[in-house]
Structure 1
Amino acid sequence: MVEGLRFERDGGVGRLTFARPEKKNAITYQMWSAIPDVVAEVEADPEIIALVLTGAGTDFSAGADISEFGRLRSTAESAAAYDKVVEAAVTALAEMRKPSVAMIRGNCIGGGCQVSVACDFRFAQAGARFGITPAKLGIVYDFRSTRQLVGLIGPAHARYLLLSGRFVDAARAREIGLVNDVFTAEEFEAEVHSFVDTLGQRSQASIRGMNRIIEKISAGQRESDSEVEAIRSAAVHGPDYAEGVAAFLDGRPPRFTYR
């Protein structure tokens, strides 16, 4: 693992931590580059059911490490190459079949917010703050991340964040749909872990199939296609469907086995 990232397994959960607390977990080029490999490892490991992303210390991430820009984004060509690495990280997270959960404390700014939006779920601790600041740097946000943001909070709120570069607090982030929920510092860890545990109790065939279909809808697809029908057919012929129906009829919790 590259410096500034820490990946650990905790039972059926993978945990990816931005680990530069002295820099508010600013994301370096090497950290961006490593994210797709972490995602691939999680997707390939049958024992992992979800990926949790968080930050060490008091912040999620204050964004890309701008101190590198003079060296790595000094020309239009080098900026384009840098952006491709960021887009690859965002794409890897957005296309995960297994669910991803951003666990947000403190600053979630710029590239940090970009990472959180690429996740399936976002939970914030009270006191967190959010902002997306390309307009402060003369940068135009990439298409995929802009589409994800607009799909999540709508064009009016997306324009507010992107065009103004202003920050919003956790309560406002929940109001506009940027986060799923906000918890006190005392509740935060337990509530997020409880939610991830809930995901682990559900049918993984259902979760991964529906996650793929939601991704296709979010990308603008309006009708079913052969992939969607194959996902649905595999589910209804799979062991989780038989177990889910049997458990319901027996009045007991299901014991899903699909990994």
Structure 2
Amino acid sequence: MTLRLEIEGATGHLLIDRLDQRNAFNMDMWSAMPSLLDEVEANSDLRLLVIRSAQAGASFCAGADIKEMLAQKDDAQWRQANQAAINLVQHKLARLNLPTLAFVEGDCIGGGCGIALACDLRVATSAARFGITPAKLGLVYPFHDVKLLTDLVGPGQAKRILFTGGLIDADEALRIGLVEMLRDEPDAIIAEMLAVSPHSNRENKRFVRRALDGQMAEDTETLRIFAQSFEGADFLEGSTAFVEKRRPNFSD
């Protein structure tokens, strides 16, 4: 099983397990991932999804399976299906109904970098390397993923990464904003994210996505969501805990 979902309390771990191919994604993996993301969304106990290699220290994902793509290059129907599968994964992952975190310990290249870009946060070890290499193959990176990259690092750095196809190390990735933090393990940030209101995290994620997708001002829906948060159980618990000087215990 090259992809699998493991549940640990309120955290889902989506593990990439194709180690003999440096966790490169083939068509079967792109096709399998949406149902795993649906399973995550359907589990109301989950507050966070972490995507990582099944083996500690291994490559996060070396990208799409180039040998498979080369073998299928003359099959237009396969190419169309492969493009649709990749686009579906990226769109669903970027808009999942709970926060997502990519933990990168080794190489994170091409389509693998796209998966990390579609997550809300990226935590990397010092051994991580990042690159987007389609230009070295005469290919074009998907527009959706180019937008995710540009939103994250800005147009200048996005062009540098795309135009050169080169690899950057973890320190450089942190400097330009491609990753949010360098850690040997993501446990601390996971604990911090699980300690706050899951309702707040879900809605704040949706608000950020609205802004990235071009919304510039409040509308009736955002005003409603803000106002109704004062009526929720999480606000009652959070504000009561603040007054009582204790940690909140959110049950949403």
Distance 1:152 1:217 in 2: 13
Aligned residue number for residue 21 of structure 1: 19
Deviation at 1:70, TM superposition (A): 3.0
Sort the Cα spacing of 1:72 and 1:230 in 2 relative to 1 into closer, same or farther, 3 A.
farther
Any idea what SS the aligned residue of 1:220 has?
coil
1:29-178 equivalence runs, <5 A: 29-57=27-55, 58-178=58-178
Sort the Cα spacing of 1:241 and 1:233 in 2 relative to 1 into closer, same or farther, 3 A.
same
Q: Which runs of 5+ in 1 are unaligned?
A: none
Percent of residue pairs identical: 37
Q: Does the Cα contact within 8 Å between 1:49 and 1:204 map onto a contact in 2?
A: yes
The reply on whether 1:247 has 2:241 as its aligned counterpart is yes
1:119 partner amino acid: C
Between 1:222-231 and 1:69-78, the stretch displaced more is 69-78
Deviation at 1:230, TM superposition (A): 2.9
2:17 partner amino acid: A
Any idea what SS the aligned residue of 1:43 has?
helix
Please list the CA deviations of residues 54-81 of structure 1 after superposition, one character each: whole Å capped at 9, or x if unmatched.
0133110100111111344434553233
Sort the Cα spacing of 1:36 and 1:231 in 2 relative to 1 into closer, same or farther, 3 A.
farther
Aligned residue number for residue 193 of structure 2: 199
Aligned residue number for residue 208 of structure 1: 202
Sort the Cα spacing of 1:220 and 1:16 in 2 relative to 1 into closer, same or farther, 3 A.
same
Please list the CA deviations of residues 130-170 of structure 1 after superposition, one character each: whole Å capped at 9, or x if unmatched.
00011112221122111110000000110011111000000
Q: In structure 2, which of residues 208, 231, 238 is the aligned counterpart of residue 237 of structure 1?
A: 231
Q: In structure 1, which of residues 4, 7, 28 is the aligned counterpart of residue 5 of structure 2?
A: 7
Q: Does the Cα contact within 8 Å between 1:39 and 1:93 map onto a contact in 2?
A: yes
Aligned residue number for residue 179 of structure 2: 179
Any idea what SS the aligned residue of 2:14 has?
strand
Q: Which runs of 5+ in 2 are unaligned?
A: none
Q: Does the Cα contact within 8 Å between 1:72 and 1:82 map onto a contact in 2?
A: no
Distance 1:230 1:32 in 2: 36
Between 1:223-232 and 1:68-77, the stretch displaced more is 68-77
Distance 1:47 1:28 in 2: 30
2:20 partner amino acid: E
Deviation at 1:227, TM superposition (A): 2.6
Q: Does the Cα contact within 8 Å between 1:35 and 1:92 map onto a contact in 2?
A: no
Distance 1:40 1:229 in 2: 28
Sort the Cα spacing of 1:72 and 1:92 in 2 relative to 1 into closer, same or farther, 3 A.
farther
Distance 1:78 1:15 in 2: 30
Distance 1:176 1:232 in 2: 32
Distance 1:229 1:32 in 2: 37
Sort the Cα spacing of 1:228 and 1:73 in 2 relative to 1 into closer, same or farther, 3 A.
farther
Any idea what SS the aligned residue of 1:140 has?
coil
Q: Does the Cα contact within 8 Å between 1:134 and 1:165 map onto a contact in 2?
A: yes
Any idea what SS the aligned residue of 2:234 has?
helix
- TM-score, structure 1 as length reference: 0.92
Sort the Cα spacing of 1:43 and 1:234 in 2 relative to 1 into closer, same or farther, 3 A.
farther
Q: How many residues align?
A: 250
1:248 partner amino acid: F
Any idea what SS the aligned residue of 1:138 has?
coil
Distance 1:228 1:155 in 2: 28
| Cα RMSD, aligned residues only | 1.3
